[in-house]
Amino acid sequence: MSDAIHKQASLFGGELEPDQDDAKYSGKIEAPIYEPKNKKPHLMELVDLSKTNSLIREIIASDIPQDVKEFLIEAAKRHSVFNYEKIADYYSHASPDVQALMEKSALVIIDFGKAIQNGYVKLCEEIKSQYLEHTD
């Protein structure tokens, strides 16, 4: 462990153990493999819009300029909570056209190379070379 980390820990009254845990970690990168379920979920199971909808109702009811309302409504959409396990299940049962659009929307990443190309995943050259070294 670096001297800087030890100094920082001592500033906050903490003690750090020596690097005995470093051996537990590997440089190998393994992508998780998901096994889809046999049941296609309903679209409403893929996303929780409760906070988004609550904010939008509050924004619409407010006495603020329309252009500000429109901006805040767009901003409220970022509070949507996606259930990626259900999204993966839905994807596995969807038509090829829907699957392609879900991939473009980065709801699922099937092709890691395409994800990098589309800018959904950014890797520094060092991580990229390690990834390529440990994958086929």
What are 106-130's pLDDT values in tens digits?
A: 888 776 666 555 655 555 566 677 7
Token readout for 123 is 């890797």
Q: How many CB atoms sit inside 10 A of residue 88's CB?
A: 19
Residue 22 has pLDDT above 70, yes or no: no
CA-to-CA distance for 32 and 122, rounded, in angstroms? 18
CA-CA distance, 67 to 73, in Å (whole number)? 10
State how far the Cα of 35 lies from the Cα of 114, in Å rounded to an integer: 21
Q: Domain boundaries in the chain?
A: 3-46+83-134
Residue 107: the pLDDT is 87
The string of DSSP letters for 76-122 reads: HGGG-EE-HHHHHHHHHHS-HHHHHHHHHTTSS---HHHHHHTTSS-
What are the tokens at 19? 């690097």
31-66 pLDDT, tens per residue?
A: 666 677 788 999 999 999 999 999 999 999 999 999
pLDDT, tens digit (0-9, with 9 covering 90-100), for 80-94: 999 998 999 999 999
Average pLDDT over residues 6-22: 53
